[in-house]
Structure 1
């Protein structure tokens, strides 16, 4: 009996794994205020309960423009950094290599440099992540997966990059259209977030997280084949600002859970295909790029219901 699918896939520890972050120590640890703590919120300090509690204990008010840090906090930083002014938190976390002084007492929401970094990250090309092959399909490291075969990648500051996973990209093959949500739109976890089409067929995809759309991948709209060719790289779809990063871990697979889930999904496909399954091995260890187009007996509506958990009329 498939017991994995009967429970909500929640990681054992609610720690947001942040993609492409070399240094994961909390900025308060880097500053020497606390002995040890690993960031578990993708460096989204504004929604971090620990950051809020520490600021309250140190009498740092994040709602005013004038810094009100307790004297011992300022003195501690001056002593730790050899008389220099307090360093920018992005230098402390390794987000920037060059030294920079913080003029806002870590009230980053007032800082234009912080906003500029966010804008740069939205346009940044992080390249292809490290992937492993699971049952013929690519599974990207540090990515969270939704049961509807969308993926979520948490990036610095808690933002989430979203896409379609390699399994779905290969299953539905060469797409003709991608309809993405507009900027500023709110998408909800487990609700339809976007649609795609192939010839006279349509499919709806569930969003892996809840949040507001900050950016969309315009090249994918013009060239939907990017999703099939590079689902974890140039084929990403849009970027969200989630309400609370940790809250979005609900119903997502991560790490070894993702491996087990993808194995089960591959077995479901194997059982569905029967004898034609050997077509999936046409490129060696990986499945072919267009499973739907390679097996004439496959029904589009059945695939969307079974693997995307949605239905969409032509």
Structure 2
């Protein structure tokens, strides 16, 4: 088989495509150079006042190299465009790495500038360097108010690689979840002794029910939590879960102020059971004392030990007091709340979820 890439027919098709692109973005220098090379002086089509040629390079680099998928194609036909999913004003997944801007041939995409402007509103201890979020450096906070052109690290990256680091490094993958008995945890998350998970998210602390608490209480039918700007002291009720005719309260592991509530979970509480570590998050909050938060929480190996000890204690209690009928194939049955008396249920919740 002989493949021709520069035949007369291919040349005509290529010229037509360049004409169409040039009509869409007449001020693009790269397109002007291509047009000149192919003998196109002026496109035959009416000019449009748009910068984006819908090449998809920005979408691909964000998804395939950076691993964020902060932007994508939207709408159809002549209205097709590149933007933030669901028409949002900003993307929570964007880390301001600038890879999309770097590969854009027309300068149309400006996600980097918008995201860095939003990052500047974060408190100093939450201002992660974008190279840290990309996985290029292990740990670095930004001391330059995200004015990267003043940063030695940014200049060093440019000199070292000669291109954007996203095109050199593979995308940063999240750590794989770890299974302890039948319970799942993410080692990089923080966990309270009362089984509330926490992680940094866009300058805030996002919290929810971990997998141990989820499987202990079963399918959540209703949820009540504190509202925005509420202040909650350590040891006080942070939220209440309703499971059938039973209830389970969970306590604040440190002094905090609520910044936001996941309205999706208030409208559809079972999400907290179905996807506890992602869509099932409950609150965004701010700790009064970040150091106190870290002292009261565990992560990595200490989190694994917590889950292991609690799992063994839980199963020992089942076998001694309640019998193996409450388990389902070696795992806690989601209908456990129906099996236990009110006193046994309250004792179970107090032992495992009322610890600070």
| TM-score of Structure 1 vs Structure 2, range by shorter chain | 0.5 to 0.7
Higher radius of gyration, 1 or 2: 2
Are residues 1:234 and 2:256 paired? no
* Equivalent residues of 1:146, 1:253 under 8 A apart: yes
1:138 aligned residue: 184
The Cα of 1:276 is off from its aligned counterpart by: 3.5
> Cα 1:192–1:81, aligned 2, differ >3 Å: closer, same or farther?
same
- Of 188, 197, 218, the residue aligned with 1:173 is 218
1:86 aligned residue: none
- Of 288, 305, 327, the residue aligned with 1:243 is 288
1:23 aligned residue: 135
| SS, match of residue 262 in structure 1 | helix
Note the alpha carbon deviations across 1:142-165, whole angstroms, 9 max, x for none: 1111011111112343x1110011
* Equivalent residues of 1:137, 1:287 under 8 A apart: no
> Cα 1:183–1:297, aligned 2, differ >3 Å: closer, same or farther?
closer
Note the alpha carbon deviations across 1:280-314, whole angstroms, 9 max, x for none: 452x7x5444443466798221112111127xxxx
Gaps of 5+ in 1: 1-14, 27-37, 46-50, 56-61, 68-72, 83-91, 98-126
| SS, match of residue 133 in structure 2 | coil
Alpha-carbon distance in structure 1 between the residues aligned to 2:241 and 2:224: 6
1:199 aligned residue: 244
Are residues 1:215 and 2:260 paired? yes
Equivalent residues in 2 for 1:58-73 (5 A)? Answer: none
| SS, match of residue 193 in structure 1 | strand
Alpha-carbon distance in structure 1 between the residues aligned to 2:310 and 2:232: 25
Give the TM-score normalised by structure 1.
Answer: 0.56
- Of 193, 215, 236, the residue aligned with 1:147 is 193
Alpha-carbon distance in structure 1 between the residues aligned to 2:254 and 2:212: 19
| SS, match of residue 226 in structure 2 | coil
Alpha-carbon distance in structure 1 between the residues aligned to 2:151 and 2:347: 65
Alpha-carbon distance in structure 2 between the residues aligned to 1:215 and 1:21: 23
| SS, match of residue 134 in structure 2 | coil
> Cα 1:24–1:240, aligned 2, differ >3 Å: closer, same or farther?
farther
> Cα 1:246–1:168, aligned 2, differ >3 Å: closer, same or farther?
same
| SS, match of residue 253 in structure 1 | coil
- Of 189, 207, 211, the residue aligned with 1:162 is 207
Alpha-carbon distance in structure 2 between the residues aligned to 1:130 and 1:78: 29
The Cα of 1:260 is off from its aligned counterpart by: 0.9
Equivalent residues in 2 for 1:109-148 (5 A)? Answer: 130-148=176-194
| SS, match of residue 300 in structure 1 | helix
> Cα 1:23–1:307, aligned 2, differ >3 Å: closer, same or farther?
same
1:10 aligned residue: none
| SS, match of residue 315 in structure 2 | helix
> Cα 1:79–1:253, aligned 2, differ >3 Å: closer, same or farther?
closer
What RMSD in Å do the two structures reach over aligned CA positions? Answer: 3.9
Give the TM-score normalised by structure 2.
Answer: 0.50
**Number of aligned residue pairs:** 214
Are residues 1:271 and 2:282 paired? no
* Equivalent residues of 1:193, 1:206 under 8 A apart: yes
Are residues 1:306 and 2:351 paired? yes
The Cα of 1:25 is off from its aligned counterpart by: 4.2
The Cα of 1:254 is off from its aligned counterpart by: 0.8
| SS, match of residue 151 in structure 1 | strand
| SS, match of residue 235 in structure 1 | coil
Alpha-carbon distance in structure 2 between the residues aligned to 1:24 and 1:78: 11
